[in-house]
């Protein structure tokens, strides 16, 4: 039985990665909206060992042949990357975590601007409370459970939450939304549900169930910001590339996600910032707003 399992896992992992590259929405709809698919998801697919195994495959040279189909499927502009030739990448993860040229993502120069830390689809919710209905209709979001810290949760009551969903097509490195001094990342272990809107619409609340890393950023003029990197289905790992206690400028790199869709959550204290007007307070009832790293998402409020 064990020998059969050893053969099954790598075959399953390769099949799943190919499925994600070929039609990820169809796969997600199957495992979240289909009864048998949901049982398979809860009992096996969201377990950490599966995401770690997929991560290992995506790190290996065996995954290199998936790079060109991946670029084609998601219409990725390879010319933005520092290595613009797909043959220069050693694995799918090497490509997935690619760095971009310095001019690919201009940083908003307005000193009062808070920028998007990543590419993705942005959703914003103001006046976050102790128990706010967030993205999942009829299911309350417990910020204390999300942060696993009662005192820290109180710090952000009445403030603003910004969620950025990074699809497999997006650039997967994330950056500082403004200048400040970051803390060491606090790890919270969990499972690996998808963070795609399909999962939320199926009644799943991955923000409080998934593995996540919490970083606080102390700033001079907009209080303390919490940045939470949330792992997701097939994400092999969340990596930090900054040094805690060191000052960083807006737009400096913080870290990256390995293969898979993933999410960043920003929490701002009450009264410290105002969401940029053209963002228009999106939520999961609509399609959200497409955003690029470096674009303005909020303005620091004057003291």
Please say if 186 is a catalytic residue. Answer: no
Please say if 258 is a catalytic residue. Answer: no
What's CA 197's distance to the chain center, in Å? 13
How far from 79 is each of 94, 98, 295, CA to CA, in Å?
16, 12, 20
Residue position matching structure tokens 């050893």: 6
- Cα-Cα end-to-end distance for the chain: 66
> Which candidate in 91, 119, 172, 196 is catalytic?
119
> Which candidate in 116, 175, 194, 258 is catalytic?
175
Residue position matching structure tokens 């199926």: 202
Give the list of residues 6+ apart from residue 43 with CB closer than 8 angstroms, or none: none
Measure the CA–CA gap between 190 and 210, rounded to whole angstroms: 5
Please say if 119 is a catalytic residue. Answer: yes
Measure the CA–CA gap between 296 and 204, rounded to whole angstroms: 30
Nearest partner of 249 among 219, 284, 209, 212, judged by Cα: 219
Active site residues: 119, 175, 262
């Amino acid at each position: 039985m064990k020998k059969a399992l050893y053969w099954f896992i790598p075959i399953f992992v390769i099949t799943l990665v190919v499925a994600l590259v070929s039609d990820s929405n169809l796969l997600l709809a199957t495992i979240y909206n289909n009864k048998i698919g949901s049982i398979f998801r809860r009992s096996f697919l969201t377990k950490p060992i599966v995401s770690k195994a997929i991560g290992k495959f995506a790190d290996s040279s065996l995954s290199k042949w998936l790079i060109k189909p991946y670029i084609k499927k998601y219409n990725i502009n390879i010319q933005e990357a520092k290595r613009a030739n797909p043959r220069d990448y050693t694995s799918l993860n090497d490509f997935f975590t690619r760095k971009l040229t310095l001019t690919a993502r201009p940083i908003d120069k307005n000193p009062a601007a808070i920028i998007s830390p990543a590419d993705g689809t942005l959703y914003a919710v103001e006046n976050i409370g102790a128990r706010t209905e967030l993205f999942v209709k009829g299911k309350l979001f417990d910020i204390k459970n999300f942060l696993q810290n009662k005192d820290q949760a109180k710090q952000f009551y009445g403030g603003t939450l910004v969620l950025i969903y990074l699809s497999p097509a997006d650039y997967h490195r994330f950056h500082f939304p403004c200048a400040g001094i970051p803390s060491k990342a606090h790890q919270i272990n969990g499972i690996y549900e998808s963070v795609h809107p399909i999962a939320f619409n199926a009644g799943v609340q991955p923000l409080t169930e998934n593995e996540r890393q919490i970083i606080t950023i102390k700033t001079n003029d907009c209080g303390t910001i919490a940045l939470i990197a949330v792992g997701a289905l097939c994400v092999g790992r969340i990596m930090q590339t900054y040094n805690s206690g060191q000052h960083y400028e807006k737009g400096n790199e913080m870290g990256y996600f390995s293969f898979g869709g993933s999410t960043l959550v920003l929490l701002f204290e009450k009264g410290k910032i105002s969401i940029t007007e053209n963002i228009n307070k999106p939520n999961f009832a609509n399609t959200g707003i497409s955003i690029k790293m470096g674009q303005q998402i909020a303005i620091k409020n004057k003291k």
